[in-house]
Structures are given as structure tokens and as C-alpha cells.
Amino acid sequence: MYRRCSLIILLFLFTFCSAYSYVSGKENQEKMNQMSKEDQAWADMYNSFELYLAFFRDSYPAGVFTISRHADSYAQALDYFSQGFDQGLAVDIISAYTFYNPDNDKLQILATDGLPVLQPENPNPIQAQFVDENNVVFQRYFKDYYGENTQYRYRVFCRYDKEHWKIYRLNWEQVL
């Protein structure tokens, strides 16, 4: 009798321990998935800016103009930028920083300042706020950027699109 009770008690303990481990393991897996999605958001945002920089950095001269090695046409540039930016923002980038030259039938780079770029090695910390599981806002403050006692906030809005995060909006504003 004592042996049978001991066996039943051991079975109950084993069942409860197993159930607890299964539940906590499931919760840990969900946390790991969430963490990996957050890490992916950071990495994809940085990769989008690297994609942007590479478009202008990987270029060659054509007379007085510069041509990117990543796209000869508007359609190619749209495909290129759409890897890291939503289509609307990709169109805005192409319109602001390139032009089509009919003389050589190429999309050419305008000589102008570009977008502010967030990179992990920037000295000021970048903050992230996850609005929900598919939207995140990264922001960085710039102090004394345009003069003494000035402060600006740069926000990068990203949305989860199928398998990775894409930048869909950029916002630069003075903070008073």
C-alpha cells in the first residue's frame, strides 16, 4: 500500500513537473521569437540604410555625371530600393536623388546632400519603440547639430513586410 501510494505520488509530481516545463518552455520560445523579431528589425533597418549608401557609393563617372552600378533605369532603381524601403518611399528617394538623362539613357545621381543614416557606430544612442508586433519607430536625437543649443529628432518608421522589416517613413524635426 505504501509503495503504491509512493508510486502514485511520484507519477503526479512527474506530471506536474512535465506540464510546468512544457508551459514555461512554450513561453520561452514565444519570447525568443519576439526577441529575434526585434533583433531582425534592428538589423533590417541598418541593412536598408546600407543598401541606400551602396547605391550612391558604388558608382562610376560618366562625363560630369555619376551613375550608380546598381541601376541604369528608374525601374531597376525601384526594384533595388524596394528591398529595404516601401514602394512609396523608394519612389521619393529616386525622385529626390536621381534623374534620367536621355543623352545616355541612364539614371544618374544628383550632386546633393542625402538622407541622414542611422548606423550602429553613431555616438548618440538610437532608441526603438515597438508600436505593435509589425511596426517599430527608431529615433535618435542630434544635439547642437545646426548650431549651439539646437536639438533635432530623426525618426525612422519600419513595418514588417512578409519576411523582413522595411522603412516606410522618415521624419526629421526640431525639438524645442
Name which of 69, 134, 56 is nearest 96 in CA terms: 56
pLDDT at 11: 42
Task: Please write the tens of the pLDDT for every residue from 69-92.
Answer: 999 999 999 999 999 999 999 999
Query: What is the spatial distance between Cα 164 and Cα 51, in angstroms, rounded to a whole number?
Result: 14
> pLDDT band at residue 154, thresholds of 50, 70 and 90?
very high
pLDDT at 120: 79
Query: What is the spatial distance between Cα 101 and Cα 106, in angstroms, rounded to a whole number?
Result: 6
Query: What predicted TM-score, i.e. pTM, was given to this entire model?
Result: 0.77
Task: Please write the tens of the pLDDT for every residue from 90-135.
Answer: 999 999 999 999 999 999 999 999 999 998 776 568 999 999 999 9
